[in-house]
Amino acid sequence: MSSVTSSPPARMSQQAGQQTQAAGRQPPVLRVEDLRIRFPVNNGLDTVKAVDGVDFEVRQGETFGVIGESGSGKTTIGRALVCLLQPTSGRILHDGVDPATLSRSAFRKRRRDYQIIFQDPNAALNPRMTILDSVMEPLWAAGEGDDASRRRAATEALVRVGLPPEAGERYPHQLSGGQKQRVNIARVLTLRPRMIVCDEVVAALDVSIRGDVLNLFADLQREFGLTYVFITHDISVVSHISDRIAVTYLGRFMELGPADAVTEKPLHPYTQALLSAEPVPLPSNMRVNRRIMLEGEIPSPVSPPSGCRFRTRCPSAQARCASEEPAWRELRPDHWVACHFATPEGPPPPNG
Amino acid sequence: MTDIPAKLSFAPGNADHLTGRGSMATGHASASRPVTGATPLLEVRDLSTAFLTSNGELPITRQISFSINAGERVGLVGESGCGKSVTGLSLMRLLPPHTARITGQAHLAGQDLMALSARQMRAVRGRDVAMIFQEPMSALDPVFTVGEQIAEAYRVHFPVSRAEARQRAIAALVEVGIPAPEQRYDEYPHQLSGGMRQRVMIAMALICEPKLIIADEPTTALDVTIQAQITDLLRSLSERTGAALIFITHDLGVVAETCTRMITMYAGEIVEDAPVDDVLTRPRHPYTSGLLRSLPGLSARRGVLPSIPGRVPSPGRMPDGCRFRERCGHAMAGCEREQTLLPMAADHVARCWRARDLRLPGSVNDMAADSPVAHNLAVAAGEIRP
């Protein structure tokens, strides 16, 4: 349905780079190749390019952070990773297998390995089901065990996420937001998935319990060797939990690299601006006043700007940025950026 | 505000609103904020709000007392359910009388807002004190243009022609940084982005040049780059016009960057009130300290995040004395006694018996050396190269 619009050199370099990375390592849990997802709007007159050419892989046991503002396509990517949305073009490989090519029953078997936890813990639980029934449901859907063994596994999962076994008899409205999110974690845990997409999983929680839930994710990862794709708009959360971070803007990656490099020595002007916009709870004498104020707002994904999508708000934009889409370049080991003017030293200086 | 009545169950027949008016004797001793020379712009004394439910009165906030000087920007922080929004709505008298009972006083420039009739309050609301809500889309009327809605806010209070109100509204749009204001005036809310809608709400709040603006989570629904624009705008407008600001938020970073003072609320009470820099450096209440320590940016990357155990007690089942004691690592015998806001310094009060002898970590002294924030500070100080 869609045509490939990105410039060929950009795509080729991106793929070539990932092949060298993959060599000599375990096969990636997840591999995404030129993913594009479009939605018709306006009675089919226009198309929202929610994801518009994204390549990456997620390695066994890592936490892959995806950060971006609203409209950047991060949630759409997350849903596509667990087959809740079909790619318009491009491929998603689970352990090297494209689930779109599988038969219905083979797909069902494999699907349990790739799970997702959503932002709103209330909306994700059926208010008319007890907590235990909700936690047992995925096992039932996967056709695993009998009722007694499912009950046992669900109770174990509840205890593992820090809830008392009696919580299973309650209904969602009797639990706090943090407890409900623990229930949602227990639900996917029963399936022993290989990878979990976490879509803004702590955004709805209060600060004082957010830490607890993030600690739980880290513990479970160590215990079960889980792989996470952690999608959030919160820079402090993503930089705390991730091994690598991808920065999205209008359906494309602007930067991808190790978490500390991306947050401490970013290469892309957008990453730099995003980091500087994060409010810091420090007294005024310790605050570093180097905020880069971005003009305007994220443009419409129906008609993204030509060339580099960030150029309309970029403090360093040049004429070339409008005419040519930046190549995806590995400027530091394992650290990629889509900017014509970035160097291994960092982003280009602002104009004027 | 629209969701507030939905949270309540209605208790028809009990419409005896504001019966507590005047019951607090003048010179009440619990107003423990030290007296400064100038008369404050807003002086809130023992403001308590209870929701009227089918099971009787449910106390939500208890004896809120604080004062704000002209031009001051005060962050009102706390977690969901602590009563910060209810305090804002109570000050605006926006809680329906048949669902909420408010007692206590709130003097704005000498006039007790709680003692005003509904009609008198309408003359003050929007004129002397204005409010900005979290969700601009639900606060704006979808069937009127944004310009008309801003102009209406002015025409309610000033007898001007439509043409003049339009000019005023366009000037207000300019002031809040909306490009092509004459064109935007005739657009409807759905044609604007979230950030633009929030600017419209700010223009509406500003147009009568109120003495006090109450902003309830004005940036929570916005992206971080837009949040930076809006907090900058609020700060510079308050500096330029001298309007005082009550900034209700759960984000301590936003308070640090926008406000001069921070009031921490917990379970319906004020637990600490201090200048922002003081409280970030040395919080006196264990809850404030716990909130600061929970922030991921201040912890070592991939390390264990500190958190506050337990949960907030629910309204109607509050423990005696300190309401935080069941979750507090410093609780001792005696904490179940009635607590008051104790003075710590000239402009710093805390509701904790142990506030004087405890040395609690703030955002500065508890920061892990390998946290992202510490790294950025070291870069800025020239200790390491970026």
Cβ-Cβ contacts under 8 Å, B294 against chain A: 207-208, 210-211
Residue A76 lies in a domain: yes
**Cβ atoms within 10 Å of B91's Cβ, excluding its own:** 23
- Give residue B313's pLDDT: 87
Please tell me the predicted confidence (pLDDT) of residue B50: 96
Nearest to B225 among A240, A263, A294 (CB): A294
Number of domains composing chain A: 1
Domain total in chain B: 2
Q: Is the pLDDT of residue B35 over 60?
A: no
Helices (H), B36-180: 84-91, 118-124, 136-139, 146-155, 162-175
- Domain assignment present for residue B67? The answer is yes
Question: Mean of the per-residue pLDDT values for chain A?
Answer: 89
Question: Do B47 and B100 reside in the same domain of the chain?
Answer: yes
Whether the per-residue pLDDT at A288 is higher than 80: the answer is: no
Whether the predicted pLDDT of B104 surpasses 80: yes
Q: In what order do the strands lie in the sheet with B129-132?
A: B129-132, B212-216, B244-249, B73-77, B261-266, B269-275, B348-350, B342-345
Please state the rounded mean pLDDT for residues A59-74. Answer: 93
Interface contact flag, A283 B306, Cβ < 8 Å: no
Q: What is the largest CA-CA distance in chain B?
A: 69
Least confident range of A14-23, A292-301, B338-347: A14-23
Of the candidates B294, B299, B375, the beta carbon closest to that of A207 is on: B294
Give the minimum alpha-carbon distance from A240 to chain B in angstroms, rounded to a whole number. Answer: 5
Residues B317 and B252 in one domain: no
CB-CB: which of B195, B297, B386 is closest to A346? B386
User: Poorest-confidence range of A56-70, A304-318, B16-30?
Assistant: B16-30
- Res A25: pLDDT: 56
Range of the domain at A80: 29-102+197-202+227-278+298-308+323-337
Domain boundary among B193, B227, B259: B259
Assigned domain for A291 exists? no
Q: How far apart are CA B304 and CA A218, in angstroms?
A: 8
List the CATH number of the domain containing A68.
3.40.50.300
Q: How far apart are the CA of B229 and the nearest CA of chain A, in angstroms? A: 7
Interface of B with A in 162-191 (CB under 8 A): none
pLDDT in tens, B145-162: 999 999 999 999 999 999
Nearest chain B CA: its distance from A219 CA (Å): 9
Q: How far apart are CA A151 and CA A129, in angstroms?
A: 14
Q: Does some domain include residue A157?
A: no
Where does the pLDDT of residue B37 fall: very low under 50, low under 70, confident under 90, or very high at 90 and above? low
- The answer to whether residue A136 scores a pLDDT higher than 70 is yes
Question: Per the domain annotation, does A235 fall within a domain?
Answer: yes
Please list the alpha-helical segments (H only) found in chain B. Answer: 4-7, 84-91, 118-124, 136-139, 146-155, 162-175, 181-185, 194-206, 224-241, 252-258, 276-281, 286-293, 372-380
The reply to whether B254 and B279 lie within a common domain is no
Q: What is the CATH number of the domain that holds B162?
A: 3.40.50.300
A78-82, A148-152, A173-177, A249-253: the lowest-pLDDT one: A173-177
| B227 → chain A, closest CA residue | A277
* Neighboring chain B residues of A235 at a CB cutoff of 8 Å: 224, 297
Q: Which residue has the higher pLDDT, A224 or A208?
A: A224
Report the percentage of chain B scoring pLDDT > 70.
88
Nearest CA in chain B to A232: B223
Q: pLDDT tens-digit profile of A107-123?
A: 988 889 999 999 888 89
Task: Check residue A104 and give left, alpha or beta (phi > 0: left; psi -120 to 50: alpha).
Answer: alpha
Contact flag A293-B228 (C-beta cutoff 8 Å): yes
As a whole number, the mean pLDDT across chain B is 86
Regarding whether B346 and B280 lie in a shared domain, the answer is yes
Asked if A274 contacts A67 with a C-beta cutoff of 8 angstroms, the reply is: yes
Distance separating alpha carbons of residues A27 and A256, to the nearest angstrom: 19
As a whole number, mean pLDDT of residues B23-46 equals: 60
- Residue span of the structural domain in which B284 resides: 274-302+312-380
- The yes/no answer to whether this complex scores an ipTM above 0.90 is no
> Which residue out of B190, B191, B198, B224 would a mutagenesis test of the A interface target, given it has the greatest number of A Cβ atoms within 10 Å?
B224
Q: Check residue B33 and give its pLDDT.
A: 45
Q: Are residues B203 and B110 both part of a single domain?
A: yes
Within 8 A of B386 by CB-CB distance, chain A residues are: 264-265, 346
Does residue B265 form part of some domain? no
Q: Is A330 helix (H, G, I), strand (E, B) or coil?
A: strand
Query: pLDDT band at B80, cuts 50/70/90?
Result: confident
Residue A282 and residue B280: Cβ atoms within 8 Å? yes
Where are the alpha helices (H) located in A89-146, listed in sequence order?
Answer: 104-111, 131-141
pLDDT digits (tens, 9 = 90+) for A165-220: 999 999 999 998 889 999 999 999 999 999 999 999 998 888 888 888 999 999 99
Residue A321, φ and ψ in degrees, nearest 5: -65, -30
